[in-house]
Amino acid sequence: MELRFYNTLTNTTEVFHPVHADCVRMYSCGPTVYDFAHIGNFRSFLFADVIRRTLEFFGHRVHHVMNITDVGHMTDDASADGGGEDKMQAAARRMKEDKKSGKVPEGAVQNPDDPYQIARYYTDAFLEDARTLGVKVASEYPENILHATQNIDAMLEMISQLIANGHAYVGPDGVVYYSVESFPAYGRLSGNTLDRLMTGAGGRISDENQANKRHPADFMLWKADSSHIMKWDSPWGAGYPGWHIECSCMARKRLGKDVIDIHTGGEDLIFPHHECEIAQTCGATGQETFARFWMHARFLLVEGEKMSKSKGNFYTVRDVLQGRVKDDKGQPTGVSVHPAVLRLELIKSHYRGNMNFTHKGLIDSAGAVKRLHDFRARLEAATGGQAEAVDLNYPILKDFAAALADDLNIAGALGVILPWAASTPTDPAAALGALNRMNEVLAIAPLQSAGAGQAGANDEQAEVQDLCRQLDDARKRKDFAAADSLRGQIQKRGYDVKTSPAGTIAEKRLA
């Protein structure tokens, strides 16, 4: 089956073929570790994970690499002129407050003034969240998730190469800049060619720094700055690298080729970040192409609005899992969310459309996850867990595959799997085999990783079971007022109550 992906570089949907036969090489822009990653970040990471799993589903070997941006960049004009406060310093300030207020556990970060400790803290949190949500590459840390701060040598090497090739220069301010005019293809990815760029339209460029550059769009590769919170020796003075150079270097270094297959990120990264990556990599390698396919996920809205801390609709992964999502009355639900539910919620709509994250959507996703879990349980009961291997010609699997092959049509794939999961397949062993294969991509039934936030579950279960026994007693006595009250108590704790002649069972709601 032919795989087709939409390519930002050409603005068309193209048939995918790997550049090199041995495996597919893909690189995903990962998180900055100055704070917890939020669900919008994770939409993008999960999007990359679905690409990777889809490729594997179709039999490709995939080498997936992601970066961790742990260099402190400036809050203003990070790549252009390095003005403003450093993000690591801002994080340190916040961290001290959080330590005081107890938000950061005692001992988690010994010294907030050490940027490496802050980076470590948020890196660990990111990896934990990513594993919880089934992001495959997170289980390949550290070999396939690279820290910018551990790859400074590669950056210095590439910068030297760029200077030697005439693509970079040292400005009067001592800063090494990339010369966009030396790279005719600049603007091809984003459409922001030099003649069309409206300099300063974003309102974030200061004039004094622009004066040092040959062209207003030239961007920083290295800045000597002895006062910077993180700095390294270089031929251009002790300082720190520009924002874009880390991805160019780490992709090339870890994937081992000058031309890779797929590069992913959020839509905001198209310009300038990815445009600059292309200029750097191609400038250094002399190749015409850096990544064959550039794929971008659109933004996530929360309840129809941009996510922002001031609007109170800003959620991290742990906020959602621990029941801090607000319901339609604006109150946190207090009901913990199963990781598979959040994973499904963040992958279920097409990546090229905006996604609206809502409490209602989360409940919907919980229903779908539950149906798939129940379906699996039925198939396992019928087969003793013995699945029969099936190939892509198996009817349901074929339709599922066709949807995925068509530019990752997850919603279409769910349209195939959900009605099937309500049916009773004539051959449960083959059906279980098919479900297993589909779950290689979806990873929701089950989600392989152990769920986070399940601590204390045993105590609660025992209490709930006790309430169920009391409820059964009350029903036997025909004391229905007491029975209804007990049922209400169990439901309040986030359980569904199932009554049957065999006795009452409470099932934890997934969201």
Partner RNA sequence: GGGGCGGUAGCCAAGUGGCUAAGGCAACGGAUUGCAAAUCCGUCACGCGAGGGUUCGACUCCCUCUCGCCCCUCCA
Q: Return the number of the residue (111 or 423) whose C-beta is nearest RNA.
A: 423
306 near RNA, rule: CB under 7 A: yes
- Please state the closest distance from residue 358 (CB atom) to RNA, in A: 6
Q: Cis ω on the peptide bond leading into residue 272 (within 30° of 0)?
A: yes
Given a contact cutoff of 8 angstroms between Cβ atoms, the answer to whether 403 and 57 are in contact is no
Q: What are phi and psi of 46, to 5 degrees?
A: -70, -35
267 near RNA, rule: CB under 7 A: yes
Q: Return the number of the residue (124 or 233) whose C-beta is nearest RNA.
A: 124
386 burial class (0-12, 13-18, 19+ CB within 10 angstroms)?
exposed
Burial 157-184 (b: 16+ CB within 10 A, else e): ebbbbbbeeebbbbbeeebbbbbbebbe
- Please state the closest distance from residue 461 (CB atom) to RNA, in A: 18
Q: Return the number of the residue (61 or 306) whose C-beta is nearest RNA.
A: 306
User: Of 65, 133, 159, 300, which lies in the binding site for RNA, with binding defined by CB under 7 A?
Assistant: 300
Q: Return the number of the residue (18 or 222) whose C-beta is nearest RNA.
A: 222
Whole-number Cα distances in Å, 183 to 161, 167, 286, 390, 440: 14, 7, 11, 50, 41
Cross-sheet strand order for the sheet of 300-302: 305-306, 300-302, 355-357
Given a contact cutoff of 8 angstroms between Cβ atoms, the answer to whether 6 and 270 are in contact is no
Please compute, for residue 268, the number of CA atoms within 13 A of its CA located in the half-sphere on the CB side. Answer: 7
349 near RNA, rule: CB under 7 A: yes
- Please state the closest distance from residue 265 (CB atom) to RNA, in A: 4
Q: Return the number of the residue (18 or 50) whose C-beta is nearest RNA.
A: 50
**Binding residues among 26-55 for RNA as defined by CB under 7 A:** 29, 31-32, 37-38, 40-41, 43-44
- Write out the E strands in 371-489: none
140 burial class (0-12, 13-18, 19+ CB within 10 angstroms)?
middle
**Binding residues among 143-202 for RNA as defined by CB under 7 A:** 190-192, 196-202
112 near RNA, rule: CB under 7 A: no
68 near RNA, rule: CB under 7 A: no
214 near RNA, rule: CB under 7 A: no
343 near RNA, rule: CB under 7 A: no
Number of residues located near RNA, criterion CB under 7 A: 93
| Angle separating helix axes 275-285 and 245-255, nearest 10 degrees | 50
298 near RNA, rule: CB under 7 A: yes
**Binding residues among 472-501 for RNA as defined by CB under 7 A:** 475, 480, 483-484, 487, 496-500
- Please state the closest distance from residue 1 (CB atom) to RNA, in A: 14
